[in-house]
């Protein structure tokens, strides 16, 4: 077989992905009664390209899918893409802006056509990239949230909820993005603590002298004030209740009222009430039957309800002018720096504006009841478990969901208004005639539904609901949902609610919430910070397997990931190690004709040990995969394949593979090498699918296996009868002793090929027998020419020693080094290190140095002291032994 010296992943990965896809291995086996295993892909945005967070999320999903597929379960990983209403429309609008065209000029119909055109041309980029990563989804089931099937489900749900009284329309304060010109749900607003200002403004009494002082962070909205409120228990203002005030910069009179909401300790205890521009003020206004004056338009520009001199100004320009005029009129008392939470649009980062408008809402509390119950009774489990409390807190305090968006791309709200009498009809399709007046012309509601409204139906809309499809019966509930904690409210909780309500099933039984990928200084990866590498560049550089392994290896369950390109070395080095081991095994195995049956094997200590250890590793790795502890699985496989199989077993097998060795020994070594290597590839396949398939297929040519591909090969089962603790103990004893001898060699700087004689004082005769039987191991790995000794022997003269368990290992120096010269050399080194240590001690004892030097300089000196002192003690011990 031609096996290249170096591992080149690019062509190999392309070859095997094409092979898997063409042979239909990503599809679940349908001709079985076995219970299926289903994973729903959190649909990436159609605007998306692969980023490092996608790499982590989709690799975790692929690992669990590939593992269950190898267990023989009919496994479905259902992929999809989200239409991402606001983001996609924004992207196309930016493209049009380059041509000097606005969406308003283009018109709704043409604009939607443009977006569909963009989607069809560029919307599957991330899908192609996921394939490069190795995602083994059933691509024939690829869903898009605006596919006809999913759109039908959206209409069905909207109408059903409306008829149940769970969807309603009303004028409410909502979060509004002036940039995207649309409403946002509470969970779509990202809050950051920012330093702003608190302005103290005088509101004069309408009659007589005096004023009250109001503190506000948004002076531009005072133009829509309809009252000033104080707490009814605030004695400072008890005599002023009911008085009228003059709203500064206007000639309007507003009342001074009381309301329990007011915090007596904030500012002056007086708050302005602006019902159309603040959610809390909106509630106060309802309680006191106050008017609602909207002073901005949908883009944040002051409208006709603002005073004439402010009309047409941007909200921030208006703020500056308001402050300037207040100062000129002596009504601005003072300004303070004030830190407070500011809401930003999750799409474009614009500061959101609380805004009064007509919107559609879903009543969430009735839907939350069952969704709380299934988590409380353990039907759905969150991992790590700490996220259960987060989920329960949100569900127990749930608020109605604003589902209407004032954009054009998305599912248009299935509500129609009669052109003749304005009667409103909620229906899945346009009505034939108005039930009130008989009219036949209708205008559909101009708003579209929140993108999450289609996504919350994902578990069942993707499977053909409302029809009773075969997929719906077979694959729902799904099993593990793997996603990020930041969408636990936006998506996870809502899917649980909708699936329980419409299908009367849980959508999944386990939710694995993984951490965030951060850079070396703890910042979240983002394009704006410039700290997020392009995964495709990484795949082109090190290969998908190396990237996948590095991400899994460095990601404890539920913890954040600290990513730097240096961690990719772990994956790349491991891939190279596996490739080199494979190449060595195949090159030698091909030269040994035949393959023994299991009962013909002539097993020695190392053979029995590696087989025993492999069984223990299978148990551990299975448990880690089952418990979604993928980094523990990666660590277990890494340590076994690198440290035990490659570093010990393969090294020990080299002498046995020589033509001069007995044929039975050669055949046994060949069999064990191939058996362990192919089993190791089965264990590793879910994490590193490409290289493992290549190696496994190569081994299959000389080590017959029934399966046609590793992707559908059986995951290893454990044979516990092969686990032998005594064998394991004996082998570890030999290994520890060989390691001790290697260290003795290093102490006197022996050349690697220099053979040595070793004397051992054993504690038991059985130990001596073990070492003598496997003298070849000591010769191979520690260049031991002779190994002598016994129980209670005298200590050899002029020797250095090491203790392993209850035996003493001596390396006689006669003939290896000139004892006197070595003593002199060591003495000079000790003298030099003693002086160096003395200087470091003096520096660390000097108060001037400790008080004036930089903290890192002092720390470096302390580290140096430990290092030099350790070297000195080792050399002194060595001299003492000489």
Are the beta carbons of 535 and 55 closer than 8 angstroms?
yes
Tokens of 742: 């290697």
Tokens of 138: 């059933």
**End-to-end CA separation in angstroms for the chain:** 53
Please calculate the CA angle 103-105-107 and round it to the nearest 5 degrees: 65
Please calculate the CA angle 677-681-685 and round it to the nearest 5 degrees: 175
DSSP 8-state class, residue 70 = H
Residue 113: its H or E element:
helix 108-122
250: nearest Cα among 212, 271, 221: 221
Cis peptide before 384 (omega within 30 of 0): yes
Residue 527 annotated as part of some ligand binding site: yes
* DSSP β-ladder status, 80-81 and 75-78: unpaired
Instruction: Look at residue 273 and give its three-state secondary structure.
Output: strand
Tokens of 399: 């608020």
Q: What is the rounded distance in angstroms from the CA atom of residue 564 to the CA atom of residue 860?
A: 25
- Neighbour-count burial of 537, counting CB atoms closer than 10 A to its CB (0-12 exposed, 13-18 middle, 19+ buried): exposed
Determine the angle formed by the axes of helices 568-589 and 544-553, rounding to 10 degrees.
120
* DSSP β-ladder status, 211-216 and 244-246: unpaired
Residues 6+ apart with CB under 8 A from 203: 211, 212, 213, 214, 228, 245, 246, 247, 248, 254, 270, 272
Instruction: Look at residue 86 and give its three-state secondary structure.
Output: helix
Cis peptide before 477 (omega within 30 of 0): yes
Q: What is the rounded distance in angstroms from the CA atom of residue 772 to the CA atom of residue 306?
A: 99
Count of beta carbons in the 10 Å neighbourhood of residue 343: 19
Three-state SS letters, 20-33: HHHCCCCCCCCCCC
Q: What is the rounded distance in angstroms from the CA atom of residue 610 to the CA atom of residue 849?
A: 55
Reduced DSSP (H G I as helix, E B as strand, rest coil) percent helix, strand, coil of the chain, to 5: 50, 20, 35
Alpha-carbon radius of gyration of the chain: 37
Question: What's the CA dihedral at 522, 527, 530, 532 to 10 degrees?
Answer: 60
Three-state SS letters, 767-799: HHHHHHHCHHHHHHHHCEEEEEEEECCCCCCCE
Residues 6+ apart with CB under 8 A from 368: 395, 396, 398, 497
Q: Which residues are annotated as a binding site?
A: 527
Q: Which residues are annotated as a binding site for ATP?
A: 527
């Amino acid at each position: 077989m031609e096996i290249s010296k170096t591992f080149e992943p690019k062509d190999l990965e392309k070859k095997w992905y094409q092979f898997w896809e063409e042979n239909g291995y990503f599809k679940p086996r349908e001709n079985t009664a076995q219970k299926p295993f289903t994973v729903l892909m959190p649909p990436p945005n159609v605007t998306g390209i692969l980023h490092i967070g996608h790499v982590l999320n989709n690799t975790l999903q692929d690992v669990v899918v590939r593992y269950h597929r190898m267990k023989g379960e009919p496994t479905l990983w259902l992929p999809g893409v989200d239409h991402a209403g606001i983001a996609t429309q924004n992207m196309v609008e930016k493209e049009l802006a380059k041509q000097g065209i606005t969406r308003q000029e283009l018109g709704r119909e043409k604009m939607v056509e443009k977006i569909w055109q963009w989607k069809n041309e560029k919307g599957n980029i991330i899908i192609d990239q996921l394939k490069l990563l190795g995602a083994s989804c059933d691509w024939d089931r690829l869903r898009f949230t605006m596919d006809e099937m999913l759109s039908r489900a959206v209409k069905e749900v909207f109408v059903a909820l409306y008829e149940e009284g769970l969807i309603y329309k009303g004028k409410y304060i909502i979060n509004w993005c002036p940039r995207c010109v649309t409403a946002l749900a509470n969970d779509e607003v990202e809050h950051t603590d920012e330093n702003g200002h608190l302005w103290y403004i005088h509101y004069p009494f309408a009659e007589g002298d005096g004023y009250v002082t109001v503190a506000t962070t948004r002076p531009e909205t005072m133009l829509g004030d309809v009252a000033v409120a104080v707490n009814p228990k605030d004695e400072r203002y008890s005599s002023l209740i009911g008085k009228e005030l003059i709203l500064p910069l206007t000639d309007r009179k507003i009342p001074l009222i009381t309301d329990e909401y007011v915090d007596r300790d904030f500012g002056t205890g007086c708050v302005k009430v602006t019902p159309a521009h603040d959610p809390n003020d909106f509630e106060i206004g309802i309680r006191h039957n106050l008017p609602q004056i909207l002073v901005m338009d949908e883009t944040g520009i002051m409208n006709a309800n603002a005073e004439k001199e402010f009309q047409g100004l941007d909200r921030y320009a208006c703020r500056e002018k308001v402050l300037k005029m207040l100062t000129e009129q002596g009504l601005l008392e003072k300004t303070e720096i004030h830190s407070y939470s500011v809401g930003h649009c999750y799409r474009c980062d614009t500061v959101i504006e609380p805004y009064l408008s007509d919107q559609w809402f879903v009543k969430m509390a009735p839907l939350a009841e069952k969704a709380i119950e299934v988590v409380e009774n353990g039907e759905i489990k969150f991992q790590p478990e700490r996220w259960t409390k987060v989920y329960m807190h949100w569900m127990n305090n749930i608020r109605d969901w604003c589902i209407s968006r004032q954009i054009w791309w998305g599912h248009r709200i299935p509500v129609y208004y009669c052109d003749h009498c304005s009667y409103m009809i909620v229906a899945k399709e346009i009505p034939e005639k108005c039930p009130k007046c008989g009219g036949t012309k209708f205008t559909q509601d101009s708003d579209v539904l929140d993108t999450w409204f289609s996504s919350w139906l994902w578990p069942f809309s993707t499977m053909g609901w409302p029809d009773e499809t075969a997929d719906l019966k077979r694959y729902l509930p799904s099993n593990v949902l793997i996603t990020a904690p930041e969408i636990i409210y936006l998506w996870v909780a809502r899917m649980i609610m909708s699936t329980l309500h419409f299908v009367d099933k849980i959508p999944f039984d386990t939710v694995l919430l993984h951490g965030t990928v951060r850079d070396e200084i703890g910042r979240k990866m983002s394009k704006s910070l410039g700290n997020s590498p392009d995964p495709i560049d990484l795949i082109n550089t090190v290969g998908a397997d190396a990237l996948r392994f590095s991400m899994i290896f460095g990601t404890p369950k539920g913890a954040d990931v600290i990513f730097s390109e240096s961690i990719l070395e772990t994956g790349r080095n491991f891939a190279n190690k596996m490739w080199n081991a494979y190449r060595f095994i195949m090159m030698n195995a091909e030269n040994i004709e035949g393959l023994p049956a299991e009962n013909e094997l002539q097993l020695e200590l190392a053979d029995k040990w590696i087989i025993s250890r492999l069984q223990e590793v299978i148990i551990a790795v299975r448990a880690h995969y089952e418990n979604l502890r993928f980094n523990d699985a990666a660590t277990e496989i890494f340590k076994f394949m690198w440290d035990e199989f490659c570093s010990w077993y393969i090294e020990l097998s080299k002498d046995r593979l020589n033509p001069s060795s007995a044929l039975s020994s050669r055949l046994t070594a060949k069999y064990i090498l191939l058996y362990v290597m192919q089993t190791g590839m089965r264990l590793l396949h879910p994490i590193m699918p490409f290289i493992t398939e290549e190696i496994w297929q190569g081994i299959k040519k000389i080590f017959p296996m029934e399966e046609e591909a590793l992707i559908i090969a059986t995951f290893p089962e454990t044979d516990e009868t092969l686990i032998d603790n005594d064998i394991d103990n004996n082998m570890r004893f030999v290994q520890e002793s060989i390691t001790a001898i290697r260290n003795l060699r290093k102490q006197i700087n022996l050349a690697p090929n220099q053979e040595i004689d070793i004397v051992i004082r054993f504690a038991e005769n059985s130990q001596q027998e073990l070492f003598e039987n496997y003298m070849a191991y000591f010769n191979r790995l520690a260049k031991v020419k002779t190994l002598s000794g016994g129980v209670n022997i005298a200590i050899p003269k002029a020797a250095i020693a090491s203790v392993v368990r209850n035996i003493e290992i001596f390396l006689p120096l006669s003939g290896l080094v000139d004892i006197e010269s070595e003593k002199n050399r060591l003495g000079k080194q000790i003298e030099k290190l003693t002086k160096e240590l003395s200087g470091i001690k003096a520096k660390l004892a000097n108060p001037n140095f400790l008080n004036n030097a930089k903290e890192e300089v002092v720390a470096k000196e302390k580290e140096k002291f430990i290092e030099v002192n350790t070297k000195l003690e080792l050399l002194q011990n060595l001299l003492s032994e000489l």
